[in-house]
């Protein structure tokens, strides 16, 4: 059995971060040609790669291709989001384990068994499909129904399986999970959301494997009926909307990175001109907005300018709601953090939303991840960041050196930004900001990271006296940790 060679030698230019554009174009062409397959090759690879993970042919063929599970992210990427994270996810996928992945693997076979029984159909394993027009696009559906030229895609939703339910119906699950589940009600029917990544994944699979129909199967647990929706291939969506974006992303973001391997060398991958231009535009827009929201600066008698900070309104319930959210972490001695967002109203900065991002924490630190999800939410709801909140599970309420650096970046964006620290063990809740002259100067100039000492006098932070706690201010909590 002869294996196709997809390992490419990128030549003498592989080591340069920036390479000549015409040379780059030539090397991109080489990659594109190597990945192109004939129909016979496509069929052979598909048959031989059955078994997916762990199958050597599957792993080799998948390596340099853009695969259907990424399509939604590429298509929904905002023009000014750097391509680095997505390119990294495509080329160097991190094998992460979670209870949810375990659940998915364990229950997929169960779901397919139920599907075969209720539909009286036989499902066969599928291998890796390569697109005949764009050889760099690939797909691996969860199964093929040979008798009717269709395929299946199975999702086992772990987060939904953990809900406490009364009626054990899909309707109830949708009511509880709302935006956190891939399903929606549409004309009295339940269906896969048409803007969900899974929808783009399925359309990619259908169009690449040239199947007419996909059974989208959702398994939650044995108490809830299996959900099955028949989704037809949408050739127009594929050709007019998806392909142009996928082709551009592959040629301009992924290919140059395959050639230059910046990520492998510990650098960020280069944003192509169409992205870097959008980033510049967005930054200009942001600067205009921050001008509008900057506070009044007046000259005081001693000729030093003093900032008049506008009041920051904090809903009364905010800290208790947050401590409830953090409870599980706190009991395990792990910090938890949230972003405080709101709007400028009547010259007051009103915190109206608490966004709990996906995060990792330890006993003395907490780091938000997936920042694009926070930004997207804020942008869609027209919210500005007014501060952040975090717990100190075992320590008192203060700002650690790491906290000072975190807060400095908030306060640089908006001088009123506050840091709320909850120390449940000591029953302390403190509202802090950096001292505008000393704290901001010392921290913004400090280039150290991790925990490190700073001069403690004059003080680097103080209690934020522009905070106003209001009883009737409302608060909305968005827990992005639940988002799939
Ligand atoms: Zn802290
Ligand atoms: Zn420092």
For residue range 312-322, list pLDDT tens digits in order. 999 999 999 99
The pLDDT assigned to 21 comes to 81
pLDDT at 411: 93
Domains assigned to the chain: 11-274 (3.90.320.10), 305-482 (3.40.140.10)
Confidence at residue 5, expressed as pLDDT on a 0 to 100 scale: 45
Ligand nearest 407 Cα, by number? 1
pLDDT at 172: 94
For residues 320-347, give the mean pLDDT: 94
pLDDT score of 295: 57
pLDDT value for 283: 82
Q: How far is the CA of 101 from the centre of ligand 2 (A)?
A: 39
How far is the centre of ligand 1, averaged over its atoms, from the C-alpha of 457 (Å)? 20
Could you tell me the distance, in angstroms and rounded to a whole number, from the CA of residue 468 to the centre of ligand 2? 29
> Is it the case that residue 15 has pLDDT exceeding 50?
no
Poorest-pLDDT segment among 93-107, 284-298, 325-339: 284-298
CB contact at 8 A, 393 and 334? yes
Q: Which ligand is nearest to the CA of 388?
A: 1
pLDDT-derived band at 94, boundaries 50, 70, 90: confident
User: What integer pLDDT is reported at residue 297 of this predicted model?
Assistant: 54
What is the percentage of the chain residues whose pLDDT exceeds 70? 90
The answer to whether the CB of 183 falls within 8 A of the CB of 210 is no
Distance 389 CA to ligand 1 centre (A): 9
Do residues 144 and 469 touch, judged by C-beta distance below 8 A?
Answer: no
The pLDDT tens digits for 126-172 are 999 999 999 999 999 999 998 999 999 999 999 899 888 888 999 99
Q: How far is the CA of 452 from the centre of ligand 1 (A)?
A: 13
pLDDT value, residue 303: 38
Side-chain half-sphere exposure of 287, counting CA atoms within 13 A: 6
Distance from residue 425's CA to the centre of ligand 2 (Å): 27
pLDDT score, position 418 = 97
Does pTM top 0.75 for this prediction? no
**Ion ligand 1 — residues with CB under 5 Å?**
400, 403
Mean pLDDT of 258-284: 90
List beta partners, residue 429.
422
Rounded to the nearest angstrom, the distance between the alpha carbon of 200 and the centre of ligand 1 is 40
In the predicted model, is pLDDT for residue 58 greater than 90? no
Ligand 2 center from residue 360 Cα (angstroms): 21
* Nearest ligand (C-alpha, residue 400): 1
């Amino acid at each position: 059995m002869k294996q196709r060679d997809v390992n490419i030698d990128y030549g003498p230019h592989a080591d340069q971060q920036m390479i000549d554009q015409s040379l780059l174009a030539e090397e991109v062409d080489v990659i594109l040609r190597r990945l192109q397959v004939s129909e016979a090759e496509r069929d052979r690879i598909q048959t031989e790669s059955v078994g997916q993970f762990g199958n050597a042919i599957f792993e080799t063929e998948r390596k340099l291709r853009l695969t259907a599970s990424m399509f939604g992210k590429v298509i929904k990427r905002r023009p000014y989001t750097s391509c680095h994270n997505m390119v990294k996810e495509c080329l160097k996928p991190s094998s992460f384990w979670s209870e949810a992945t375990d659940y998915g693997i364990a229950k997929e076979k169960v779901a397919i068994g139920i599907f075969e029984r209720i539909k009286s159909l036989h499902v066969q394993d599928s291998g890796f499909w390569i697109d005949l027009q764009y050889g760099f696009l690939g797909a691996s559906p969860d199964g093929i129904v040979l008798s009717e030229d269709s395929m299946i895609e199975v999702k086992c939703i772990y987060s939904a399986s953990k809900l406490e339910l009364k009626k054990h119906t899909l309707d109830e699950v949708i009511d509880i999970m709302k935006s956190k589940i891939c399903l929606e009600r549409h004309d009295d029917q339940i269906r896969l959301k048409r803007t969900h990544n899974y929808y783009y994944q399925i359309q990619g699979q259908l169009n690449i494997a040239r199947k007419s129909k996909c059974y989208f199967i959702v398994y939650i647990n044995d108490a809830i009926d299996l959900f099955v929706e028949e989704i037809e291939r949408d050739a127009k969506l594929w050709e007019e909307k998806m392909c142009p974006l996928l082709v551009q992303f592959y040629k301009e973001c992924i290919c140059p990175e395959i050639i230059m391997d910046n990520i492998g060398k510990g650098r960020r991958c280069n944003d192509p001109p169409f992205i870097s231009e959008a980033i510049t535009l967005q930054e200009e827009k942001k600067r205009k907005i921050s001008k509008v929201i900057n506070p009044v600066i007046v000259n005081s008698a001693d000729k030093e300018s003093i900032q008049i900070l506008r009041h920051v309104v904090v809903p009364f319930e905010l800290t208790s709601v947050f401590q409830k959210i953090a409870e599980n972490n706190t009991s395990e001695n792990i910090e938890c953090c949230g972003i405080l967002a709101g709007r400028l109203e009547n010259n007051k900065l009103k915190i109206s939303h608490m966004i709990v991002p996906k995060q990792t924490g330890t006993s003395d630190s907490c780091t938000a991840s997936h920042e694009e999800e926070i930004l997207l939410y804020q942008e869609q709801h027209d919210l500005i960041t007014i501060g952040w909140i975090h717990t100190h599970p075992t320590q008192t309420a203060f700002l650690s050196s790491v906290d000072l650096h975190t807060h400095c970046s908030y306060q640089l964006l908006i001088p009123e930004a506050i840091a709320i620290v909850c120390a449940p063990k000591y029953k302390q809740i403190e509202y802090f900001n950096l001292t505008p002259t000393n704290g901001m100067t010392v921290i913004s100039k400090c280039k150290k990271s991790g925990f490190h000492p700073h001069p403690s006098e004059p003080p680097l932070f103080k209690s934020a006296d522009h905070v106003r706690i209001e009883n009737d201010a409302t608060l909305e909590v968005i827990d992005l940790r639940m988002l799939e």
